[in-house]
Structure 1
Amino acid sequence: MVTFANLSELYLHFDQLAEHDADADTLFASSYIRGFVSLVASETGDESQPLSSQLAASVTAQLSKAKAELSPQDQVIVSNYWQSLLTSFSL
């Protein structure tokens, strides 16, 4: 399990995925999710903010609203990756 102290560390993780030869599904899901994390985070604080339950809930809600823009297969990929990231948030 990978944990991150704050938003900056999560962004660094996203940035390093390509350097660590992540598969195409992981790269897709991480970039898709990063957009939602960035959107929500810009409304609630700065990049040093902790990964809070409030931030996680807001991102989850935004991902749910946007679900229809993804194919069923991509929905599963994004959902699974998001679930793996949620362990890093203070829930």
Structure 2
Amino acid sequence: MTTPAERTKAVVDTRDFLEMLASMDEVTINGLVQSVASGLLRHFPNNIEIDVSAAALPSVWAPPLPARVVGQPRCAHVVRLARTRTNE
């Protein structure tokens, strides 16, 4: 069973991941990933909206963790696993 804290963390981490994808300098698959991430983020809740939802529905949401330190992502970072023709 998912707890409110786990649900909130998943939504916040997903938003952070989508923001990272949407702002990547390197274009992949002709911008498909970035454009999909940007489209999803358009309607994705921010921390204020999640906080309001947590106050109204504490059995569903938990307040988000404090804002991350600049330069310290809350979720995964990009690691290049293999060399490709584009980065040789």
Larger RCO (CA within 8 A; separation ≥ 6): 1
Larger radius of gyration: 2
Q: Please report the TM-score for the alignment, with normalisation by the length of structure 2.
A: 0.35
Name the structure with the higher helix share: 1
Q: Please report the TM-score for the alignment, with normalisation by the length of structure 1.
A: 0.34
